[in-house]
Amino acid sequence: MKHKLQRILVCFLALTLLTCPALAASSFPDVDENADYAEAVEYLKDVGIMRGDDKGNFNPNNTVTRAEMATIICNMLGETEDLTVSDTFSDVPTTHWANKYIAKASELGFVSGYGGGKFGPNDTVTFEQAVTMVVRAMGLEEIALDYGGYPDGYIEAATKYGFTQGLSVQVGEKMARNQIALLLYQTQI
């Protein structure tokens, strides 16, 4: 009995040693497994919130557009069913690849336009815009408004709930994919 237990333990340890490196390695060749955002990227990929490109790269330093952010928010909340084309914003034609996601995110109150019926789908999302979308998506808008509203109140709410932990981005700065991954990951853990 003692030898059988020892063999089982040895097999378990051997399997653990063999699988741990595989778990640590990134599934994206352009994401260093030791990067501070690597775990976030892997998690978001695994749960279907963010993906890589058609070449298998994550492109961590590429910026994120407002259209991409609306799509990511819909993915995060599982709002990918029953999407319909809309003419909510005059600068998002019904043929735009993210029209349905932008319309859904707008309908749910997670995104808003610039005014005058414009959304700016190809504009790079800024730190305060991304944080505002995430805070709204997490149902914390009332808290953000209590803290003073856009943009400082949303940033304060996100900080209070730990969403901005590990980020070194300032108001007005454009957000990269690795930063968006960290921001979203903090809402999931």
In a domain, 25, yes or no: no
pLDDT band at 20 (very low <50, low <70, confident <90, very high): very low
Q: What is the pLDDT of residue 142?
A: 98
pLDDT, mean over the chain? 89
Reply yes or no on whether the pLDDT at 150 is more than 90.
Answer: yes
- Rounded to a whole number of angstroms, the distance between the first and last alpha carbons of the chain is 41
Give the Å distances, CA to CA, from 130 to 169, 175, 184: 11, 8, 10
Q: What is the pLDDT of residues 61-89, one digit of tens each?
A: 999 999 999 999 999 999 998 899 999 99
Q: How many domains does the chain have?
A: 1
What range defines the domain where residue 62 resides? Answer: 35-188
pLDDT of residue 103: 97
Tell me if 19 is assigned to some domain.
no
Flag whether 124 is in a domain: yes
